[in-house]
C-alpha cells in the first residue's frame, strides 16, 4: 500500500495485472464490477451503526508541498499515518457502488483528491498504468493519461510468469498529489513526471505534463520492452517518490538507489545502498526522510548540494526467506512517523517465527544502543507477516497480518488467510510498548485506515466459506477496543479482490477500495 503496494504497502501494488479487454474512453460510463455466483447466498450486512467517538492524539503535521492531509497519497500524509481527520461511513444502511475500469483488471490503488474533491488515481491495465480523473460520486472517468507499460508486464506475458507483476511496486503505483493538485510519480522509463489536470472551455478535462525529469543518467535503464525482449544490461525500476520539507523530490529504486531532484534547477543527485533492496515507499517529516530497505531502517537528510546522506542506520531481523504474503525478504512496511512528541518511527521486521513491531527513536543525536524503544512479537507462530503499512496515531500503532496472501489466486474457492489485527501502544514515558488488544479480523492484503473523527478502523476482509463463495467485505473496527462494529458486502469473486490496494476515505465520508477490476465506493445511506 498499503505506506509498499501500495503499500504499505503501504502498496505495492499489482496494478499492472492485466486487462486483456479495452479500457473505457474518457467520459464513458463503464459498468458496475460483476459479482461471481453466490452473491445472494452470503450475509449482506452485519452489526449496527457506530456512534462517532473522536480519537484524541497528535495529528500528523501538514507537509508544505503536499495536498492537504488525507488527500495526498496512499498513506494519507507525509508521516505515513494512514489516518484521516474526517469521518468515514458509520454503518447506517451503507450502499456499495463500483466502476469497472477494464474488461479484466483495471485496479485503482492510490486514490487522491483535488481541492474540489475530484479523484486523481492510477489504475492498472494490460496496456499500462492509466492516470485517471474521476467524478467522486459516479466514478465516471473525466480524463485519463496513459503511462508507459512496465517491464514486468512484458516479462509476465512473454515468459508466462505472472509472479513478476505481483512483486513489482514500480511504474507509478506510489504517487502523490502536491500542494497545487499535481500528481507526481516515477514511470517505467525512470522519469519523474508531474501532471496537472485542467478543464477546457467546453467542460472537458485533460492531463498536462508540467515537468519531466529524466533519471536515466543515474539509474540503469536497459529494461525489457516489446522492442527489447532480452536486454543485456541492467534495469533498476524507481519504486517511489516524495518531497521533503524544502520541496526537493526524493526517489528510491528497487536496487537500493536513493536520489533527489531539485525542481527549481533540475539538479539530480543519488547514492547507492549496495546489496540492499527497496520495495516500499518512504515517509518524510521536517527532521528528515525515513527509508526502509530489506536490511535496515535509515534516517536520511540532504547535503547542501542535494546528495542524500544517511544520518543513522539500524538493521533488523530480516529472517531467512520471503514469507507467503511478502514481496521480498525484509520489512513490508513503509516507515510510520508518529508520537505525541513527534519522535518515533515504526516498522515491522521479517523474523522467521513471529514478526515484530519495531519502534525507534528517530533523533539524529540518539545513541545507537538507545534507539530501539520496543520489539513486540505479533500474531501466531509460523504464520506472521505484513506487506502493508502500519496505522499510527498518538502513541498507538495498528498492524494486520497478511500471511498467506500472494496474489488474486491465493484465496479462491472460499479460502482465506489466518488473519489477525493487533494494536500496540508506546508507553507515555517511552520505556517500552504494550499490546492494547488483538482481533481475529481477516484482512488479507489491504492498507487499512483510521478515521480520527469517528474512531473507526477500516479493513477489507474475507472469511472462509464452505460453499466456495469468495465474499469480500468492507469492515469497521473500533479503534479503542478492537471490536468489529459492522461489515458490508462489497462483492464476490476475484474481481473484488483488493490485491494490495488500500482503503481510502474521501472528504465527503465515502470510503473507496481499489479492487482487481476497478474501484469500489462505500457510503452511508439515509
Cell 452485519 sits on residue = 46
Q: Average pLDDT, whole number, for the chain?
A: 92
Print burial letters for 308-340: b (CB count within 10 Å at least 16), e (below 16): beeebbbebebbeebbebbbbebbbbbbbbbbe
Flag whether pLDDT at 88 surpasses 60.
Answer: yes
Among 140, 141, 111, smallest CA distance to 503 is for 111
Percent of the chain with pLDDT over 90: 83
CB-based contacts of 236, cutoff 8 Å, min separation 6: 190, 219, 220, 221, 253, 254, 255, 257
Flag whether pLDDT at 13 surpasses 60.
Answer: no
- pLDDT, tens only, 296-328: 999 999 999 999 999 999 999 999 999 999 989
- pLDDT, tens only, 156-210: 777 776 666 666 777 788 999 999 999 999 999 999 999 999 999 999 999 999 9
Segment 401-413 shows an average pLDDT of 95
The pLDDT confidence band at residue 17, using thresholds 50, 70 and 90, is very low
CA–chain centroid gap for 76, Å, is 9
Domains of the chain: 39-523 (2.140.10.10)
- pLDDT, tens only, 480-496: 999 999 999 999 999 99
Q: What pLDDT score was predicted for residue 262?
A: 98
The pLDDT confidence band at residue 464, using thresholds 50, 70 and 90, is very high
Q: How many CB atoms lie within 10 A of CB 52?
A: 13
- pLDDT, tens only, 426-441: 999 999 999 999 999 9
Segment 263-286 shows an average pLDDT of 97
Flag whether pLDDT at 331 surpasses 90.
Answer: yes
Q: What pLDDT score was predicted for residue 247?
A: 97
Segment 101-127 shows an average pLDDT of 90
CA–chain centroid gap for 302, Å, is 25
Flag whether pLDDT at 21 surpasses 50.
Answer: no
Segment 256-261 shows an average pLDDT of 98
- pLDDT, tens only, 91-110: 999 999 999 998 878 999 89
Q: What pLDDT score was predicted for residue 397?
A: 98
- pLDDT, tens only, 445-460: 999 999 999 999 999 9
- pLDDT, tens only, 51-87: 999 999 889 999 999 999 999 999 999 999 999 999 9
- Is pLDDT larger for residue 129 or for residue 411? 411
Backbone φ and ψ for 104, nearest 5 degrees, come out as: -150, 135
Amino acid at each position: 500500500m498499503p505506506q509498499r503496494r501500495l503499500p504499505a504497502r503501504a502498496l505495492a501494488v499489482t496494478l499492472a495485472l492485466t486487462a486483456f479487454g479495452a479500457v473505457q474512453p474518457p467520459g464513458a460510463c463503464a459498468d458496475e464490477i460483476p459479482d461471481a455466483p453466490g452473491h445472494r447466498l452470503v450475509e449482506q450486512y452485519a452489526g449496527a451503526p457506530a456512534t462517532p467517538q473522536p480519537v484524541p492524539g497528535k495529528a500528523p503535521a501538514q507537509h508544505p508541498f503536499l495536498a492537504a492531509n488525507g488527500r495526498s497519497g496512499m498513506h494519507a500524509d507525509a508521516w505515513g499515518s494512514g489516518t484521516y481527520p474526517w469521518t468515514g461511513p458509520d454503518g447506517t444502511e451503507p450502499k456499495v457502488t463500483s466502476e469497472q475500469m477494464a474488461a479484466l483488471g483495471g485496479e485503482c490503488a492510490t486514490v487522491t483528491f483535488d481541492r474540489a474533491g475530484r479523484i486523481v488515481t492510477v489504475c492498472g491495465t494490460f496496456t499500462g498504468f492509466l492516470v485517471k480523473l474521476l467524478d467522486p460520486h459516479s466514478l465516471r472517468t473525466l480524463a485519463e493519461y496513459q503511462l508507459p507499460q512496465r517491464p514486468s508486464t512484458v516479462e509476465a506475458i512473454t515468459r508466462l510468469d505472472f509472479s513478476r507483476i505481483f512483486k513489482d511496486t514500480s511504474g507509478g503505483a506510489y504517487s502523490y498529489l502536491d500542494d497545487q493538485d499535481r500528481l507526481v510519480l516515477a514511470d517505467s522509463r525512470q522519469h519523474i513526471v508531474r501532471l496537472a489536470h485542467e478543464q477546457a472551455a467546453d467542460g472537458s478535462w485533460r492531463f498536462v505534463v508540467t515537468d519531466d525529469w529524466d533519471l536515466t543518467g543515474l539509474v540503469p535503464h536497459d529494461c525489457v520492452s516489446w522492442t527489447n525482449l532480452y536486454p543485456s544490461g541492467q534495469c533498476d525500476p524507481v519504486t517511489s517518490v516524495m518531497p521533503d520539507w524544502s520541496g526537493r523530490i526524493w526517489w528510491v529504486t528497487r536496487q537500493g538507489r536513493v536520489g533527489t531532484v531539485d525542481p527549481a534547477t533540475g539538479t539530480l543527485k543519488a547514492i547507492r545502498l549496495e546489496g540492499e533492496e527497496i520495495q516500499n515507499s518512504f515517509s518524510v517529516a521536517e527532521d528528515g526522510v525515513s527509508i526502509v530497505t530489506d536490511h535496515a531502517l535509515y534516517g536520511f537528510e540532504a547535503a547542501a548540494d542535494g546528495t542524500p546522506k544517511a544520518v543513522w542506520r539500524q538493521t533488523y531481523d530480516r529472517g531467512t526467506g520471503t514469507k507467503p504474503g511478502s514481496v521480498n525478504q525484509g520489512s513490508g512496511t513503509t516507515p510510520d512517523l508518529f508520537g505525541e512528541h513527534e519522535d518515533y518511527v515504526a516498522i515491522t521486521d521479517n523474523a522467521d517465527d513471529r514478526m515484530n513491531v519495531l519502534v525507534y527513536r528517530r533523533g539524529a543525536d540518539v545513541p545507537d544502543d538507545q534507539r530501539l524503544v520496543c520489539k513486540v512479537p505479533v500474531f501466531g507462530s509460523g504464520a506472521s507477516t505484513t506487506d502493508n503499512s502500519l496505522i499510527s496515531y498518538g502513541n498507538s500503532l495498528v498492524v494486520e497480518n497478511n500471511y498467506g496472501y500472494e496474489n488474486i489466486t491465493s484465496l479462491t474457492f472460499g479460502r482465506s488467510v489466518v488473519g489477525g489485527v493487533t494494536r500496540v501502544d508506546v508507553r507515555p514515558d517511552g520505556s517500552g510498548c504494550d499490546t492494547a488488544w488483538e482481533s481475529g479480523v481477516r484482512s488479507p492484503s489491504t492498507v487499512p485506515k483510521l478515521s480520527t473523527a469517528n474512531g473507526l478502523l477500516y479493513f477489507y476482509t474475507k472469511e472462509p466459506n464452505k460453499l466456495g463463495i469468495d465474499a469480500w467485505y468492507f469492515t469497521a473496527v473500533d479503534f479503542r477496543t478492537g471490536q468489529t462494529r459492522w461489515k458490508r458486502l462489497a462483492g464476490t469473486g476475484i474481481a473484488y479482490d483488493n490485491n494490495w490496494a488500500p482503503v481510502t476515505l474521501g472528504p465527503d465520508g465515502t470510503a473507496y477500495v481499489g479492487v482487481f477490476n476497478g474501484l469500489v465506493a462505500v457510503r452511508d445511506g439515509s
